[in-house]
Amino acid sequence: MSKTLSNFLFIGILCLFIANCANRGNPSGGPKDVTAPEITKSVPKNYTTNFSGNEIRIYFNEYVKIKNLSKQLIISPPMETQPEITPLGSASKYITIKIFDTLAPNTTYAFNFGNSIEDNNEGNPFPYFKYVLSTGDYIDSLSVAGIIQDATLKDPENFVSIGLYEIDSTFSDSIIYKEKPKYVTSTLDSITTFVLENIKAGTYLLAAMKDENQDFKFQQKSDKIAFIKEYITVPKDTIYRLKLFKEDLDFKSFKPRLISKGKVAFGYEGDYENMSIEFLSEKPADFEEVVTKNQETDSLMYWYRPQLETDSIKFKIAYKNTAIDTFSVKITDKYQDSLTVKGSVNGQINFNEDFVLSATTPIKSLNASYISLIDKDSTVVPYTTKMDTLNNNIRFLFEKNENSKYRLQFLPGAITDFYDDKNDTLQYIMQTKAYDDYPNVRVLPRNAVYPIIVQLTSAKGEVKYEQYSTEAAPIDFTYLKSGKYLLRVIYDENGNKKFDTGSYLKKIQPERVSYYPEEIEVRTGFDSEYEFILK
């Protein structure tokens, strides 16, 4: 056999071998299973009446597993002791519910599994399965439906709990803090509508919570709340709208503590603007005091001088001119805080931005003769200052030109603090861009009820820019940072130039907020105009 023929035979056999290997792969197994598991039976059967047992089993036609049960499972009415649901962490052809609570008589219970049940192989969900039983001889069949909104966010958060509290002889407004609702459901993870089902006829308080602790009890510090002011009657053919809001915290003061020499911290919750601190101990003739707000914690700082020859000093805390408590603060050996000064800008500055000077100790005075502000041509730039004693800062206001450079210098002695300490030499350089480097946005409100607050916010509701308006006129946002924003209008009903939230106990709803339907994009080189039709 020739060498050439041998090569052809070798190549032919090799090709047959490769082709044979390619055809020997594992079988594809057919199309992917996309079918949800099916229930074959329940013991006792679903919608059973006169239930008196403590165990339920639901059987499926394939192995199933349970996922995210703590978030997905809603039991209505809630039980004091959670039932045991199995399997958890494994697969089974049936789900077992073991009940440990003593069930109320003549009551319909619903176990809403949400999207927690899925098949073991492909994860196909068995969505919104509900098992219902009654300890009486009939199943309650009435329902309440509604929509969840958020007072300040364009879209409400997930997993909002909605509850009905029965109006009976034991009812009081404080029930939401102490007891679980009679009936409860959840919006789960992607839905803003809700339906409370298997309800008996009656009169109820309808409320909703973003329930961070998942205990169905309202906690002002952590939870959002929504409520219908008037009690509702069931049955009634009404779609209810519930608007979630975060309450302002009730005022609370904490025991003060000595932080450093001549500096006492007063912690608080709630509204510090109506909080007052009174020094009760004996004061010398040259006694001085000042109060500042800590910018990092919820505390007011009480500064005093001179130091007192005593073991402790006493204070009285009042809120809205009403005494809250008296405290004694022990005096120990501490170092005195030293003056450190910080400027808000050292680099790029916007045309509508002010330079803000802050300090670690209370600023007592400025000596303007030791302060200079000059531009790139060494021309003196006029400025004015605005001092904020509580926040311990000084704002420098001056007119800025495009493509300019400014130097703000503080010579030693320009700043004197509460303890008569003075600054070292300080210098801050600020630069502006061209006007065209910033985009601008004009908003044209239609059908507005004035006054209004117009805001550009982030997707999370953080306010980036804000304008206040009292009359029908275009609203201009100038020298903006490029990016995507949400546009919203707050109806400032009481004219105090800020958003006012609601109060459950006072039965006050939050001020109305309307969002522009689409996200707006702000780009350098483009000025935009938006007609905002308000309803």
Q: Tell me: do 463 and 406 sit in the same domain.
A: no
210: left (phi over 0), alpha (psi -120 to 50) or beta: beta
Last residue of a domain, one of 402, 417, 436: 436
Q: Do 421 and 450 have their domain in common?
A: no
Instruction: Compute the residue count for the chain.
Output: 535
By C-alpha distance, which of 279, 351, 341 is closest to 308?
Answer: 279
- Note the pLDDT tens digit of each residue in 166-213: 999 999 999 999 999 999 998 877 788 999 999 999 999 999 999 998
Which residue range is the domain that position 57 belongs to? 39-134
Q: With 90 as the cut, is the pLDDT of residue 519 above it?
A: yes
DSSP H stretches of helix in 431-512: none
User: Is there a domain that residue 448 lies in?
Assistant: yes
Q: Are 167 and 231 in contact (CB under 8 A)?
A: yes
Tokens of 456: 């550009």
Average pLDDT over residues 229-243: 96
37 and 62 Cβ atoms separated by less than 8 Å:
yes
* Per-chain mean pLDDT for the chain: 92
In three-state form (DSSP H/G/I as H, E/B as E, the rest C), the secondary structure along 424-473 is CCEEEEEECCCHHHCCEEEEEEECCCCCEEEEEECCCCCEEEEEEECCCC
The answer to whether residues 259 and 198 belong to one domain is: no
Amino acid making up residue 83? P
pTM attached to this predicted model: 0.85
Indicate the number of domains in the chain: 5
Q: Of 468, 476, 489, 491, whose CA–CA distance to 522 is shortest?
A: 476
Q: Which of 408, 436, 464 finishes a domain?
A: 436
Which CATH number goes with the domain that contains 172? Answer: 2.60.40.1120
Task: Examine residue 26 and state whether it is found in any structural domain, yes or no.
Answer: no
Neighbours of 1 (CB within 10 A): 6
Q: For the residues 129-136, what does the mean pLDDT come to?
A: 96
Q: Are 188 and 216 part of one and the same domain? A: yes
Residue 336 lies in a domain: no
C-alpha 333/C-alpha 224 separation (Å) is 44
- In order of 48, 75, 297, the CA distances from 83 in angstroms are 18, 9, 41
What tens digit of pLDDT does each residue of 521-534 get? 999 989 999 999 99
How far is CA 389 from each of CA 1, 357, 358, rounded to the nearest angstrom?
A: 107, 12, 10
Give the mean pLDDT of 148-161.
93
pLDDT 10s digits, 95-120:
999 999 999 999 999 999 988 999 99
417-472 pLDDT, tens digit per residue, is 999 999 999 999 999 999 999 999 999 999 999 999 999 999 999 999 999 999 99
- Is residue 452 domain-shared with residue 391, that is, in the same domain? no
Domain end position, chosen among 414, 436, 458: 436
Encode pLDDT of 17-56 as tens digits. 344 444 444 444 556 667 889 999 999 999 999 999 999 9
Count Cβ atoms below 10 Å from residue 74 Cβ, excluding itself: 20
Distance in angstroms (rounded) separating the CA atoms of residues 522 and 416: 43
For residue 87, whether the previous peptide bond is cis, meaning omega lies within 30 degrees of 0, is yes
Question: From CA 461, how far away is CA 160, in angstroms rounded?
Answer: 18
Q: What is the pLDDT of residue 25?
A: 41
pLDDT tens digits, 352-393: 999 999 999 999 999 999 999 999 999 999 999 999 999 999
In a domain, 43, yes or no: yes
User: Is 505 in the same domain as 488?
Assistant: yes
